[in-house]
Structure 1
């Protein structure tokens, strides 16, 4: 039961970039997605090995279905470089058709959330780009609120997917009460949302799409974001940064986005990386604990 499919790419994985001097993390990746066999699938451990060689200390492996959430939680017990996030993606919720079925799935997510190396509930949120219809939106909203509850009860981060739903996401967080740590995954808002995040202490996680020319609103948001509230991610295998757009993304491409972010903010790369590492550990804790 899933709308999330492995993408088809025009060409193979890019070469690894120049290593970072100060190690950082990829706080959102989907290592379980299988790539087009014609391009040569890259196993999760190979992704991590290359990433480690260029200065990526660890990743948060993110679930979007029951199956991928279970896989993510299990992988985090196998490799010290991995922590897990578990959830039903917003577009998954309507596929359960009714509250009884949806609640049964959410109970399984709730059980996974108690595992010591599951450090976030996500990705969850609202997505009005693909979801239409009163019943479907109601199921999505219910799922979001339940995921918020689970994050608060387990005192772990909430990792938000927000597509064409900024106002509703913010309104929901304020109405039901946000967890202590909230991450806007693949930040997609403008400076108005960035100010709301800053005012509420919510983290903004920037991905490779910040390098795309048309996304000036993302660069403006990054430029004004408090340094204590910025994170970096790949959303691999999606959103490869320029000049690799259209090719499969991987945690080892984080340095490309990090260098771009340093330019946007006018900061020293090493200082930015040190800040990103501190912020990531503040949200998710130590990768060493619980292994």
Structure 2
């Protein structure tokens, strides 16, 4: 099991009912996209197949999702899946917690070269998730490999004019410093935004996108709600990070793209917008970042 899958399993419910996927929410009138999900990570007592995920997305009027790689293997899987599934695009990368697991810098660079090859594919629209994680990774050598990997992924995104999906955990200052020093790609996304108002202002000034997951609904996360309201609506995206970060009131159960309507409705109420107007805005933003889901199918 990869470090990503091993360390990110946050569910500890002991009752079987808490480990089942929730019921379908009321369908959206105007559908939208999940711009960050991990369909390859099975979760719960009755894991969903990709076909089931897709069918349930359709039932709630979801338009599509970005399937995100975190290892070389899952990046290959994501690219292959997106090539044949009209509702999916792909992002490819070595996750920052995975980078230090390579035995040497050369082995890491060899893997990143394969990520660069995947980035050439038509249905791969983003490099990610990449970035810095000071919560799971410690030690000078490990952090040095993580930093090197982040900068190499940034270079790939710029070379192929792809979006960059950033994983930033307890590393806000260094992530920003890196982007400003080497130059951020034109479309840079802070996946599962975890910052405060200061970071939100930096993102606003630089035209970077903030992607909000189900944790924006958690009572303790007022800083996320404040950040969301502080930036221009044209910079907002929505995601699940499934199977993680299931929104309230379903927290503790597996997440999936079909549950985006819960988070969208929460954000719409927070912004005092209609669900439909928010969905339309999110759709414009998402297509500006990733392009059309209709292009590049094999």
TM-score between both structures, scaled by the size of structure 1 = 0.98
**Correspondence for 2:199:** 193
CA contact (8 A) 1:80 1:287 kept: yes
Find the counterpart in structure 1 of residue 274 from structure 2. Answer: 268
Pairs within 5 Å for 1:71-110: 71-110=77-116
Query: Aligned equivalents of 2:174 and 2:255: distance in 1?
Result: 30
C-alpha RMSD of the superposition:
1.0
Instruction: Give the equivalent residue in structure 2 for 1:33.
Output: 41
The answer to which of 84-93 and 261-270 deviates more is 261-270
Question: Aligned equivalents of 2:215 and 2:47: distance in 1?
Answer: 23
TM superposition shift of 1:9: 5.7
Aligned length: 289
2:222 counterpart of 1:216: yes
Q: Deviations over 1:31-56 (max 9, x none)?
A: 001224xx111001111111111121
Alignment equivalent of 2:60, drawn from 30, 33, 54: 54
Alpha-carbon offset, residue 280 of structure 1: 0.3
SS of equivalent residue, structure 1 residue 88: coil
Cα distance in 2 for partners of 1:24, 1:67 equals 28
- Deviation at residue 207 of structure 1 after TM alignment: 0.2
Q: Map Cα deviations across residues 117-145 of structure 1 (whole Å, 9 max, x no partner).
A: 00000000000001111100000000000
> How far apart in 1 are the matches of 2:204 and 2:168?
17
Match of 2:31 among 23, 28, 38: 23
Q: Which moves more between the two structures, 39-48 or 81-90?
A: 39-48
Q: Deviations over 1:37-86 (max 9, x none)?
A: xx111001111111111121000000000010000000001110000000
Deviating more after overlay: 81-90 vs 91-100: 91-100
List runs of 5+ in structure 2 lacking aligned partners.
14-18
Report the TM-score, using the length of structure 2 for normalisation. 0.95
Match of 2:16 in 1: none
Distance in 2 between residues matched to 1:24 and 1:225, nearest whole Å = 20
The residue that corresponds to 2:209 in the other structure is 203
Counting only pairs closer than 5 Å after superposition, residues 79-228 of structure 1 correspond to structure 2 as 79-228=85-234
In structure 2, C-alpha distance between the alignment counterparts of 1:123 and 1:56, rounded to whole Å: 22
Distance 2:244 2:279 in 1: 22
Task: Find the aligned partners of 1:281 and 1:5 in 2 and give their Cα distance.
Answer: 29
1:71 and 1:222 mapped to 2: Cα distance?
32
Provide the residue aligned with 1:2 in structure 2. 2
- Supply the distance in 1 between the matched residues of 2:141 and 2:85 (Cα, whole angstroms): 40
- The alpha-carbon deviation at position 2 of structure 1 amounts to 2.0
SS of aligned partner of 1:121: strand
**SS at structure 1 position matched to 2:125:** strand
Equivalent residue for 2:253, pick from 247, 262, 267: 247
